[in-house]
Amino acid sequence: MKIVACIKRVPTTEAQVKVSADQKGLDTAGLSWMTSFYDELAVEEAIRSKEKHGGDVTVLTLGPSEASKDVREFLARGADAGVILKDDQWHARDARATAKILCARIQKAGAELVFLGKLATDRDNGAVGPMIATMLGWACVTDVVALELNGTQGSAKRETEQGIETVAFALPAVITCQKGLNEPRRANLKGIMAVKAKAIPEESFEDVPNQQQVQKVEPPPARKAGRIVGEGAAAVQALVDALRNEAGVI
């Protein structure tokens, strides 16, 4: 079975992000980058699926040349191949353009199963996975926390706000991965050495213009200063009043 896991390079979680001068995106100077957390789950599940059911895993990313480090990391963990659709503006692409570009490459790979994170931790859209499934006309199961495959059939548990939903589906399918699905493995040093010289091709693609235009990016409003209602036991009533009548939380 051909499996594709899609990853996105995003600013590290501890990065202090700044809005760019044109207010249309982020100032990327000096940012450090990592693979989006949920995409790590996606690659891990792809590798586990391969280990259980056979096949091979290709890690696919739309991103800059520097993404080769992220892709190589997954080769060291057990993925078989990596492809970079070279794009220095990957972070400014809308979900539709990203999905269309990835979709073309997934079709070319002849994949039957595609894994992505439930969202990328930079823009939090959560749209690319379902869009790819729609474009391909495949089953789409989002927010997956458990997955079983059996031949051309699969069943998955989805985490929703109301509870856990168990669904059955037929391959080909797109799966988006939620925290709890697995614990990603760590590469070891021998694994890193084994893939040190492995070629990670950079490919070009047919450009897809953004449909959605970002008008303005603003940092969240600064939090209002707190208020000390009093000290010690005497302040309890005032605190309860404030929580009940001002904040409305109790």
Partner 1 sequence: MRPFQQLDYIRLDDQFSEDERMVLDTVRSWVTERYLPLAMEHFEAGTFPMQLVPELAELGVFGPTTPAEYGGAGLNNVAAGLIYQELERGDSGLRSFVSVQGGLVMYPIYSFGSEAQKRRWLPLLASGKAIGCFGLTEPDFGSNPAGMLTTAKKDAKGWVLNGRKMWITNGTVSDVAVVWARAEGQIRGFLVPKGTPGFSAPEQKHKFSLRASVTSELVLEDVHLPEDAILPGSGGLKSPLACLTQARYGIAWGALGAAHACFDEALSYSKARVVFDKPLAGFQLPQKKLADMATQITLGQLMALHLGRLKDQDKLTPAMVSMGKRNNVMLALETARVCRDMLGANGISLEYQTGRHMCNLESVVTYEGTHDIHTLAIGHELTGMPAYR
Q: Which of 151, 161, 190, 209 binds partner 1 (CB under 8 A)?
A: 190
Q: Which of 96/185 has CB closer to partner 1? A: 185
Mask 138-177, x = binds partner 1 (CB under 8 A)? ----------------------------------------
Report 60-79 residues binding partner 1 (CB under 8 A): 68-69, 72-73, 76
Specify whether the CB–CB gap between 105 and 75 falls below 8 A: no
Note whether 223 binds partner 1 by CB under 8 A. Answer: no
β-strands 139-150, 153-159 pairing? antiparallel
Note whether 192 binds partner 1 by CB under 8 A. Answer: yes
The backbone torsions φ and ψ at residue 170, rounded to the nearest 5 degrees and listed phi first, read -115, 145
Least CB distance to partner 1 at residue 46 (A): 19
User: In 87-238, which ranges are E strands?
Assistant: 113-117, 139-150, 153-159, 164-170, 173-177, 202-203
Note whether 186 binds partner 1 by CB under 8 A. Answer: yes
Distance CA 135, CA 144 (A): 20
Distance CA 64, CA 225 (A): 41
Note whether 196 binds partner 1 by CB under 8 A. Answer: yes
The backbone torsions φ and ψ at residue 6, rounded to the nearest 5 degrees and listed phi first, read -100, 135
Least CB distance to partner 1 at residue 226 (A): 15
What type of residue is 147?
L
Q: Which of 190/216 has CB closer to partner 1? A: 190
- Count the residues in the chain: 250
Least CB distance to partner 1 at residue 190 (A): 5
Site residues, partner 1 (CB under 8 A): 13-14, 68-69, 72-73, 76, 186-190, 192-193, 196
